[in-house]
Amino acid sequence: MKKIFFYLFVLFFAAGLYAGDAETLEIKCLKDSHEYRKGETAKFLITVKDKDGRSIAGKRVKYIVSHETGRKTEYAVSTEKGIEVAVSQNIAGSCSVTGNVVDENNKAVKNSKKAVIQGGAGAAFSLEEIFQGYPEEKDFDEFWNTKKAELAKVPMKVEYKKVDLKTWNNGKLKKYDGKILAWDVKITCVGKLPVTGYFAMPVKAEKGTLPAVVIYHPYGVRSASIPARYAERAIAFDVNANGLENGREASFYRNLANGKLKHYFYFGNTDRETIYFKDMYLRALRALEFMKSRPEWNKKDLVVTGYSQGGAQALAVAGLDKDVTLCIATCPALCDLGGVWAGRRSGWIVPQHRLKKGKNGKCVTKDGDKIIKATSYIDNANFARRIKAEVHVSSGDWDTVCPMASVYAAYQNIPGKKTFTILKNMGHWGVNPKGFAALDKVLNRKGEQKNDMDLSQRGK
């Protein structure tokens, strides 16, 4: 009998210890809409929970409060009722509270799945009062019309290399064999790099019957992927953002990311002619020209979609090509790059976060005036007002990479049918429910896709 009680004691004691182990960190805004008026106070609750979802006391939490005019780091010890955080802001914009569980040395603690225990939430303040910070350059249209003319002078030559779906990427897409056809393509383009990517379509594709879907990539150095889910019902093209060879070994892309293409967002950023994203946008535009040249296209539905840097490309080409009918921009980058001029955080690319406006109205950061002018030519706040397509934009409420206010500033300039979705309790993640619901209608399929980042379909 004593042994039974001893084993029961050990069992319950061990269970108590496990229940007390931190597994998740929940941070939530205490207002369901996550929207406030400027000057109001947004309230958040931080709770550390065990594997059964029970609140735990006595855990050390590091949390960061970010808003349009700065950020601060705080530490607190969790209670069963949670840690309350209040954030107020007197200008239109957004704020976020992000955090993670740390040990006594302030090092991140991991849970039973060996993942850092972290979370976040955010809120918006008077979104409707947000407009782009830096004015559009007067010759914006002239500049891009010139670039499009230069692109038109380069004959479009396409190289096709058939892909064996049974063996591609270790057979991950073999279930599509017999249903779709896919090619690794290379297309001539203005600039030093070609357009590269994977093009796919149904095996029984007929002339003039299919919508066209073009997928653009987020920041990074990687292979394109085969757009299999789209290709069952459309002609689809997954575009390599950097014009690289596709399907190469992982080390190929890693070496480029750590070498020749490291921090490419800085490249040429003091001059509109040399800024890296100018040619990226032109490659994205040529990708559309390629799709419109395909005989299978129905000449009616032209869809562009992307996440982060991919969302930036989608917005830009929608502004440059009036044939685009649907644009899905998920947590888009390169929006409101002059937000600092309005006293807000600028959108991504990285240098914009470091720009500071002086009292004399000029940028006090080194080369800042050159950077702010050059980047205005790739700013989606400017492309947005030229878009004729239906547009669906989403933004994570605690996205600190592409702050919600920067995204909304571009969204405000879109003149036609549009939606803006605040992704509650999400950071810089690729989700756009309204956008993909619209795409489901174009493709005549049931709702089955939420994002552009299905890693199971990506190349090496």
pLDDT tens track for 196-214: 999 999 999 999 999 999 9
Walk me through the domains of the chain, giving residue ranges and CATH numbers.
22-127 (2.60.40.1930), 140-457 (3.40.50.1820)
pLDDT for residue 353 = 65
- What's the mean per-residue pLDDT of the chain? 91
Residue 456 confidence (pLDDT) above 70 = no
- pLDDT band (50, 70, 90) for residue 449: low
- Contact at 8 Å (CB) between 84 and 359? no
Please give the pLDDT value at position 31: 96
What strands, in cross-sheet order, belong to the sheet with 158-162? Answer: 158-162, 180-187, 195-202, 235-239, 210-216, 297-307, 326-330, 390-396, 418-423
Residues whose CB falls within 8 Å of the CB of residue 2, separated by 6 or more in sequence, listed in order: none
- What is the predicted pLDDT for the residue at 366? 77
With the C-alpha atoms ordered 249, 114, 432, 346, is the resulting torsion angle positive or negative?
negative
Residue 8, pLDDT > 50, answer no
- Spatial strand order of the sheet with 83-88 comes to 24-29, 41-49, 83-88
Q: Predicted confidence band at 351 (pLDDT cuts at 50, 70, 90)?
A: low
Mean pLDDT over 296-315 rounds to 98
* pLDDT tens-digit readout, 47-56: 999 999 999 9
Are 392 and 329 in contact by the 8 Å Cβ rule? The answer is yes
Q: Where are the alpha helices (DSSP H) in 31-102?
A: none
Banded model confidence at residue 15, pLDDT cuts 50, 70, 90: very low
Can you give the pLDDT at residue 343?
A: 86
pLDDT confidence tier of residue 70, bands split at 50, 70 and 90? confident
Q: Give the model's confidence band at 445: pLDDT under 50 very low, under 70 low, under 90 confident, else very high.
A: confident
pLDDT on residue 352: 63
What DSSP designation does 129 have? G
Closest CA to 87 of 132, 31, 25, 26: 31
One-letter amino acid identity for 372? I
The residue that leads in pLDDT, 29 or 15, is 29
Q: Report helix, strand or coil for 31.
A: coil
Q: Is 167 exposed, middle or buried (0-12, 13-18, 19+ CB in 10 A)?
A: exposed
369-421 pLDDT per residue, tens: 899 999 999 999 999 999 999 999 999 999 999 999 999 999 999 999 999 99
φ, ψ of residue 363 to 5 degrees: the values are -80, 130
Confidence of residue 34 (pLDDT cuts 50, 70, 90): very high
Residue 19 has pLDDT above 60, yes or no: no
pLDDT (average), residues 253-272: 96
**Looking at residues 40-46, what average pLDDT do you find?**
97
User: For helices 276-293 and 309-320, what crossing angle results, to 10°?
Assistant: 60
Of residues 234, 351, 381, 241, the one with CA closest to residue 307: 241
- Ordered DSSP codes for 364-398: -STTHHHHHHHHHTT-HHHHHTT--SEEEEEEETT
Query: Which distant-in-sequence residues (6+ apart) come within 8 Å of 95 by Cβ?
Result: 42, 65, 66, 67, 68, 87, 89, 122, 123, 125
In this prediction, residue 340 has a pLDDT band, given cuts at 50, 70 and 90, of confident
Residue 4 has pLDDT above 50, yes or no: no
Environment class of residue 249 by beta-carbon count within 10 Å: exposed (0-12), middle (13-18) or buried (19+)? exposed
What does the block give as tokens for 229?
A: 């889910």
Q: Would you place residue 321 in the very low, low, confident or very high pLDDT band (cuts 50, 70, 90)?
A: very high
379 close to 339: Cβ distance less than 8 angstroms: no
Give the pLDDT mean for 253-277. 96
- The count of C-alpha atoms lying within 13 angstroms of the C-alpha of 42, restricted to the half-sphere facing its C-beta, is 30
**What span, in angstroms and rounded, lies between the C-alpha atoms of 424 and 85?**
17
CA within 13 Å, CB half, 413: 23
